[in-house]
Chain A
Amino acid sequence: MSHMEWTSEESGIRLDKFLSTVSDLSRTRVQELTKAGEVFVNGTAEKSSYKVQVGDVVSCDIPEDAPTDIIPQDIPLDILYEDEDIIVINKPKGMVVHPAPGNPDGTLVNALLYHCRDLSGINGVIRPGIVHRIDKETTGCIVACKNDEAHRSIASQLENKTCHREYMALVEGNIANEAGLIDAPIGRDRKDRQKMAVTEYNSKEAKTHFRVKERFGKYTLLDCSLETGRTHQIRVHMKYINHPVVGDDKYGHKCPLMDTQGQVLHAYRLTLKHPRTGRKMSFEAPLPEYFEKLLTILRAQQ
């Protein structure tokens, strides 16, 4: 059970709408919680239709997800590195990192549970070993932790930037500059809660450095380095500069040349300091087959 609290700065908004804007919860989830009597305004349980006033203290008790047993599954993994503390995997396309509603199994966590006997427990039963995520349709390096010390170390490294990821992204259009820095804050899209967007409202600083690797006229291959790690950061930033990631039908368009099954984005390098030895280590995942194939098609068209 976790307890959260907000003070309203606005008036006349429905309680469920207010809560879904300030929290990470969906409107449906908020309505469920309100029905269950877990949402309080100034200490009393209120209905979803309650109109929030300035200064109202809205609090909410969120029950932990029912401890669903995650089954270990024998899913083949492309392991780039493994020792007793960490495991680095080249995540294939379409694999979800951890179970979520609608995706109870077949995830990286299921595969890891089968492969490793031990995973760090800090992130709860749903996300054992997981310190950072990669989108479902994105491929490439992801690190998981086998014990709590390693988990704490990598988590703090992600915070203070000693754990770093670099991506290859194919974007639409011909980018004018050879290199650049996109410095624009990212938050939840106010129009569509399923999306993120560059916004000044409830957003966090986000910085993406990019360098052109190859030009194909209508497309550009970029090497991206992230100074921050927001949800969908590269996809949102590329859309923001009007060069959405190819195949990204959420923020851009489907790829007309081949079925890419989502964004053409690959985390090709992961650099971190080993939690035990403190040594700087770098792991590289080769471009997936479909990505190479697409590049071959584009080169042939030139």
Chain B
Amino acid sequence: MTVALIIAAVVLILDQITKFLISSNMVLFEDIPVISGFFHITYVQNTGMAWSMLSGQQFLLSLAAFIAIGVMLWVLIYRKPDAVTTVSIGFMMAGAAGNLIDRLMFNYVRDFLNFYIFGYDFPVFNVADIALCIGVGLLILDAFIEERKEKTQ
């Protein structure tokens, strides 16, 4: 429980600090090539979800994030999950909360990490998105390992 909350708090602070630095120093759509043609810092304001899906459904998205955080807290308190799940929940909570804060405060999410991979302009994202991916990734990995264990037994 405490582990998850500490992870969530640290990642959330990191997310909000980076977003604040970007939005206060960069002009909307400004583009700083860090590794030209591969990694750019580009400030955009995203009104949708990941990959701009569901663009514009701000209220639904915020509600979904609220419910998700609620469910995760419930699992932490009443289900006493294993170590990997706890860590993964910490990351996922930070990811959900980081972008929820943006949606409630600005009605959009501040994104700035812009990768071009194999000539494809990958969607611009932020620290909260990374946390969410790490969380979900851990959960999937955990499920795989659990399944293997059960099979060998």
Contacts and interface: CB of A to CB of B under 8 A. Distances in A.
A280 B26 contact: yes
Contact of B29 (A161, A177, A179, A180): A161
Given A211-B107, A211-B108, A225-B45, A180 B27 contact: no
Interface string A62-73: 000000000000
B29 A164 contact: yes
A211 B52 CA distance: 14
A301 interface: no
- Most central of B26, B30, B108 by chain A CB within 10 Å: B30
Contacts of A177: 55-56
A225 B107 contact: no
Interface in A155-212: 157, 160-164, 166, 177-181, 209, 211-212
A273 B27 contact: yes
Nearest to A269: B28
- Most central of A177, A178, A272 by chain B CB within 10 Å: A178
A51 to B, nearest CB: 43
Contact of A225 (B28, B56, B58): B28
Interface in A118-162: 157, 160-162
A161 B45 CA distance: 14
A212 B107 CA distance: 11
B27 A272 contact: yes
Interface residues of A, number: 21
Contacts of B56: 177-180, 212
Interface residues of B, number: 18
Given A211-B107, A211-B108, A179 B27 contact: no
Contacts, number: 50
A178 B47 contact: yes
Contacts of B47: 178-179, 211
A225 B31 CA distance: 16
A227 B30 CA distance: 9
B25 interface: yes
Contacts of A211: 47, 107-108
B31 A271 contact: no
Interface in B32-70: 45, 47-48, 52, 55-58
A271 B55 CA distance: 25
A162 B25 CA distance: 10
Contact of B27 (A163, A178, A209, A212): A163
Given A178-B58, A280-B25, A162 B107 contact: no
Contacts of B57: 178
Contacts of B30: 160-162, 164
A227 B27 CA distance: 11
A211 B47 CA distance: 8
B152 interface: no
A301 B59 CA distance: 26
B24 interface: yes
Nearest to A227: B29
A180 B45 contact: no
Given A177-B56, A178-B58, A180-B56, A160 B107 contact: no
A177 B29 CA distance: 22
B31 A179 contact: no
A225 to B, nearest CB: 6
A177 B31 CA distance: 27
A225 B45 CA distance: 10
Closest A-B pairs by Cβ, 8 of them: A178-B56, A179-B47, A179-B56, A161-B29, A164-B27, A177-B56, A162-B27, A271-B27
Given A178-B56, A280-B25, 7 more contacts: A161-B30, A164-B27, A164-B30, A178-B55, A179-B47, A179-B56, A211-B47
21 contacts: A157-B27, A160-B30, A160-B31, A161-B29, A162-B30, A163-B27, A177-B56, A178-B55, A178-B56, A178-B57, A179-B47, A181-B52, A212-B56, A225-B28, A225-B29, A225-B45, A271-B28, A272-B27, A273-B27, A280-B25, A280-B26
